[in-house]
Amino acid sequence: MQRINSRLSCSFVLICSCCFCIAIGCTRELQYEQQLDGTSHTFDIHWPPIAPESKRAAGHTPLLNGVVSVREVHANGEDCTLEIVVTITRPSSEVAREFWNSQLAFADVPWMDEVRVWDSASQWQWPNLPFLLRRHGQERIERYGGVDPGKLVDNDFAAVLIRSYDDDGEVERSGAGNSPLVSAEWRGDIEVDNDIHTLVHVARSETFEVHIGMANGPQSGLLKLWIIYADFLGAWPPSTWPQEPEWAGGILTYGEIRWEKMPDELCRGSVRFLTPSTSTGFDWRKWSDDPRAPAQSRLSNVVM
């Protein structure tokens, strides 16, 4: 009888141990401390581009300063969405104006004098930043941008492109919406008539919506974010960056947003700005010149 009880006791311990192990195995530990909702993450844009991890970047004055803002939104208490906005700010002091002018002089480009505006004191004026970055798709050679009269295309624009991947960043997620997300629309930070003569130092992207699954999770993944300029005018990115051109341009900045969603908790993760390992893989010319809807923004997708 004692031996039987001993066996029963051992069996009970083994069963409890197995159940405990199974329970532990089913409980997923969060990898990230930071909640993504309501966070802002800064980056710099240099010209020519500089790898963010390099020592040179730390001691070099950036041409532009940027922020990626992330917000978590729930629809009907079920569908979970990350809203992402990119804001680019240009330092606006007199020193910054002279620096900008010197960095973007392009003295070897014969038509640069045609796209600059001079005030009554013969000082070169700032270009309107949102107007400079936006894709216009029309002939316009004043203050940069628009259709190049020689090339007959508009490749003077900046664009944001976002792709969704699995945890290891190798397999791109499929979804019901268009992928990747892309936009070359930029707005100012103030409500004014936004034309070539408006002085605006802040450009804000459209809001990108990445649907990451049901609020009761668990879900996790990786978003890759590129900011490109479509014409580098002969300048080259760092040798460590992808050499595939983004149209006639290249990558200005690259970031990775890792996210993890557990049941009944806000999304956690990290945002880092890195040397890009790949190009965007996007056909900018086809998108920009699509006869049905040229350069149409894709702002929302569904991650399956």
For 257-303, the DSSP string reads EEEEE-TTS--EEEEEE---SS-----HHHHHT-SSSTT--B-EEE-
Distance CA 181, CA 271 (A): 18
Contact between 260 and 72 under an 8 Å Cβ cutoff? The reply is no
Give the contacts of 38 (CB within 8 A, at least 6 positions apart): 70, 71, 72
Give, for all 304 residues of the chain, the pLDDT tens digit. Answer: 444 344 434 433 333 333 333 233 334 555 787 999 999 999 999 999 999 988 888 889 999 999 999 999 987 767 889 999 999 999 999 899 889 888 887 767 777 777 677 777 777 778 889 988 999 888 776 666 777 777 788 888 999 999 999 888 888 876 545 579 999 999 998 776 666 677 889 999 999 999 887 666 678 999 999 999 999 988 889 999 999 999 999 999 999 999 998 888 889 999 999 999 999 999 999 999 899 999 999 999 765 4
pTM over 0.75: yes
Position of tokens 């640069």?
Answer: 112
**All residues at 6 or more sequence positions from 203 whose CB lies less than 8 Å from its CB, including other chains:** 87, 88, 89, 129, 130, 132, 133, 186, 187, 188
- What DSSP character marks residue 221? E
CA dihedral 96, 102, 103, 107 (to 10 degrees): 160
Phi, psi angle pair for 118, to nearest 5°: -115, 140
